Structures are given as C-alpha cells and as structure tokens.
C-alpha cells in the first residue's frame, strides 16, 4: 500500500488537532507527517502514531517533497500558501473559505458530490465547505435526489467552538464568573455568550444577511450542482461548547412523506436517524459531539405547505464539519488513484 507525505497547516488549532487524530484513527497511509503553524507555535510538538514531532514554522518552501497538504489555518493563510503548494505538485485540501466559490476549484462533501473531485487538477486545490453547510447538506442529498428540493429555510444553532478555542474558553469563563457572582468579561463575542443567543455570525452583507448565512446558499448550490435551489438562513451562536444544530424546512417538487424521508435518510451514508418522539429521542449537541455522522430527527411533514418537510439536524462541526470531511476527501483521492504520490512510499 502506498504511503504519502502529508503536511498539516494550522496543526495546533482545534481543527488541526482533530485532523491529526482522524488521520490516525482512520489509518490514513502517512509515511511522513509535517506539522506546520505560525511562528507563535515555534517550539511546540505534536504526537502522531506514537512519535513526537516538532512543529515547523510555515513558509513558502514548506511543501517541497509533500504529496498532500491539509489546511486549517484560515483564509488569509490559504490564499497565500495553498497556490504555492499546488503549483509545486502538492495536492491541497483547504478548510477555509478562500476558494469555495472559485469555479476552477471543487467544493466537496464525499457523500454528496464525489464525482466533482476530479476537477482539482486545474489548480491542485480542493475546498472543504463551511461546517454548517456540510452538516445540513449530507441529509438533504437523498431527499433532493428523490423529490428535488426547490427551497430551503434554515436556522442554525452554532456552538462556540465554531469561533475557535478562545471562544470556547470565553463561554467556560463566563459560566464560572456567573456562578461566582462576578461581572462577565466579554472579549471574543460582541455580547456575553453564556445564557444568551447571538443572532450574528460573520460580517453583515449589503442585503442584511451575514456572510455565514450567504455561505449556506452559495455552497449548497455549488455542491448540489443546482443553481435553482432557493435558500434563506438565519445563523445563531448559542452557549454550547461543541456541535452545531440546524432546523431545516424544505419544499420539494415531489412530495416526501415522513415515512419516506426516514427510509431515504436511514439508507444514506453518513446519516443516522434519531427520531422517536414518544420516547423523547432526537439529536442534541451533547450526544453528537465527538461523533462522525450527521444525526437527524423531528422529521415531520409541513402542515403549512403540501410539499414541505421539517428536519432537525445535529453534527460535530469540528469533525464532520471540518477535519473529518477533509480526511474523507483525501481518502476519496486515494481510492480513485488521484493522489499523484510523487513522494509516496510503497
């Protein structure tokens, strides 16, 4: 079996740490790991397959001799370094928003549009979608294939970890401060997040939607390959440490009953149906955190629309919404013999 030389950019961040964990859990064939981060991480180490490896400072020469690079360091870093890696023959899987709308760069969720991955050869870059898009689109795919989705109305309930480690720490600190009767310190979010909801994620656009909300529209259309799908979303930050949830209403051309939806979803890879109202069983963040699937429940026909259907979806946005999806793309490339493997070992 071929083994590949793999670089991980942003290796000390939450998604980078998870990427290492998933590469190891899934036995991705790595002959050499190169952990990369900014100068702030100089002197740190990571552990991979029982080996302690020093973190290297990211530079333009970092990808020499690498077969594959997983990027998790943000759009600014990706825009500067991903093309350098790609031009040098290293295949890039980028978790940032830098290239998602570039027509020459595929945007991939392996369960949904695996065939589009071949288009990476134009730039040697593949984009990982936004975490909320991934968690939503996996269960929407079988419903779209059966009934053709015309319109999606979504409201997301996004965990603090989506804003990074400092955001998670701020929630923890504020809960402690509240319990101790101290003033709550606000640094990361515009308002306190403990015991609160903030209907604002990313920058507001000219149409009064936030960029996070628009990503769901842009990315859904590109991944589904259907520019006719109408999408409207409201994205909310909630006082949860890990795992996003999304309330989704769809309108389809062909009616989908509750029983049909359960059957379609139950047979689709990457989806677990958790829907037993009588026993109060439905997806929740505390249950899905640390798990790989997208969980779906509260499935019901829309009483206000003849061809409408409601879903409640929850998934770990650090795993399936980011790190796992990136590694699954790498596995897809490997399985399709699309990783050049110029430096790999047999």
Which residues make Cβ contacts (< 8 Å) with residue 280, sequence separation at least 6? Answer: none
Q: Is 244 a catalytic residue?
A: yes
Under the banding of pLDDT at 50, 70 and 90, the label for residue 293 is very high
Cα separation, 302 vs 214, whole angstroms? 24
Nearest in space to 316 (alpha carbons), one of 170, 193, 194, 158: 158
Q: Please provide the average confidence, as pLDDT, over all residues in the chain.
A: 96
State the average pLDDT over residues 159-176.
Answer: 95
- Fold topology of 132-159+197-315: Dihydrodipicolinate Reductase; domain 2 (3.30.360)
4-128+322-335 and 132-159+197-315 share one fold: no
- Whether 282 contacts 307, CB under 8 Å: no
Residue 195 pLDDT more than 80?
yes
CATH architecture of the domain with residue range 4-128+322-335: 3-Layer(aba) Sandwich (3.40)
pLDDT score for 133 = 98
What angle separates helix 211-224 from helix 131-147, to the nearest 10 degrees?
A: 40
90-140: pLDDT as tens digits: 999 999 999 999 999 999 999 999 999 999 998 999 999 999 999 999 999
Q: Residue 1's pLDDT is what?
A: 76
Question: Strand order of the sheet with strand 294-301?
Answer: 230-237, 149-158, 244-252, 308-315, 294-301, 271-273
Do the Cβ atoms of 168 and 194 come closer than 8 Å? no
Q: Tell me if 250 sits within 8 A of 143, measured CB to CB.
A: yes
pLDDT (average), residues 246-259 = 98
Q: Where are the domains of the chain?
A: 4-128+322-335, 132-159+197-315
Answer yes or no: are the C-beta atoms of 247 and 268 closer than 8 Å: no
Side-chain-side CA neighbours of 16 within 13 Å: the count stands at: 26
* Residue 46 to residue 59: CA distance in whole angstroms: 18
Task: Identify whether the C-beta of residue 192 lies closer than 8 Å to the C-beta of residue 186.
Answer: yes
Distance between CA atoms of 166 and 189, rounded to whole angstroms?
10
Is the distance from CB of 193 to CB of 210 less than 8 angstroms? no
Whether the CB-CB separation of 296 and 139 falls below 8 Å is answered with yes
The pLDDT of residue 118 is 93
Alpha-carbon span 306 to 303, nearest angstrom: 7
Select which of 90, 131, 294, 344 is catalytic.
131
| Average pLDDT of span 303-310 | 98
Q: Which residue in 90, 235, 244, 307 is the catalytic one?
A: 244
How many Cβ atoms are within 10 Å of 280's Cβ, its own excluded? 6
340 — pLDDT class (breaks 50, 70, 90): confident
pTM of the model: 0.95
Residue 163 confidence class, pLDDT cut points 50, 70, 90: very high
Question: What are the start-end ranges of the H helices in the chain?
Answer: 14-25, 75-87, 131-147, 165-179, 211-224, 258-266, 285-288, 324-335
**pLDDT surpassing 60 at residue 264:** yes
| Residue 346 confidence (pLDDT) above 60 | no
Question: What pLDDT is recorded for position 344?
Answer: 60
User: Does the pLDDT at position 149 exceed 70?
Assistant: yes
Question: Is residue 276 exposed (0-12), middle (13-18) or buried (19+ Cβ within 10 Å)?
Answer: exposed
Q: At what angle do helices 131-147 and 258-266 cross, to 10 degrees?
A: 120
């Amino acid at each position: 079996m071929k083994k590949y030389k793999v670089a991980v950019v942003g290796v000390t961040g939450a998604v980078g740490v998870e990427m290492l964990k998933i590469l190891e859990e899934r036995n991705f064939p790595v002959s050499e790991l190169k952990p990369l981060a900014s100068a702030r991480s100089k002197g740190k180490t990571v552990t991979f397959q029982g080996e302690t490896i020093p973190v290297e400072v990211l530079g333009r020469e970092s990808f020499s001799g690498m077969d594959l690079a997983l990027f998790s360091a943000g759009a600014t870093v990706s825009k500067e370094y991903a093309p350098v890696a790609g031009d040098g023959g290293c295949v890039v899987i980028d978790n940032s928003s830098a290239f998602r709308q570039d027509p020459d760069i595929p945007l991939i969720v392996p369960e949904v549009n695996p065939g589009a991955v071949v288009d990476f050869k134009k730039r040697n870059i593949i984009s990982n979608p936004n975490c909320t898009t991934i968690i939503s689109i996996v269960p929407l795919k079988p419903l779209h294939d059966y009934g053709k989705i015309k319109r999606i109305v979504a409201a997301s309930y996004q965990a603090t970890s989506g804003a990074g480690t400092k955001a998670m720490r701020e929630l923890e600190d504020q809960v402690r401060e509240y319990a101790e009767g101290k003033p709550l310190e606000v640094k990361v979010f515009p308002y306190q997040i403990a015991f609160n909801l903030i209907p604002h994620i990313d920058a507001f656009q000219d149409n009064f939607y936030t960029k996070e909300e628009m990503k769901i529209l842009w990315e859904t259309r590109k991944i589904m390959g259907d520019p006719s799908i109408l999408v409207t979303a409201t994205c909310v930050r909630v006082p949860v440490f890990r795992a996003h949830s999304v309330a989704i209403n769809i309108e389809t051309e062909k009616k989908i009953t509750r029983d049909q939806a359960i059957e379609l979803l139950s047979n689709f890879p990457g989806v677990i149906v958790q829907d037993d109202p009588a026993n109060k069983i439905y997806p929740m963040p505390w249950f899905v955190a640390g798990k790989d699937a997208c969980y779906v429940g509260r499935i019901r026909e829309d009483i206000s629309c003849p061809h409408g259907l409601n879903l409640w979806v929850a998934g770990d946005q650090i795993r399936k919404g980011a790190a796992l999806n990136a590694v699954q793309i790498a596995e897809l490339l490997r399985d399709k013999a699309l990783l050049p493997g110029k430096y790999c070992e047999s």
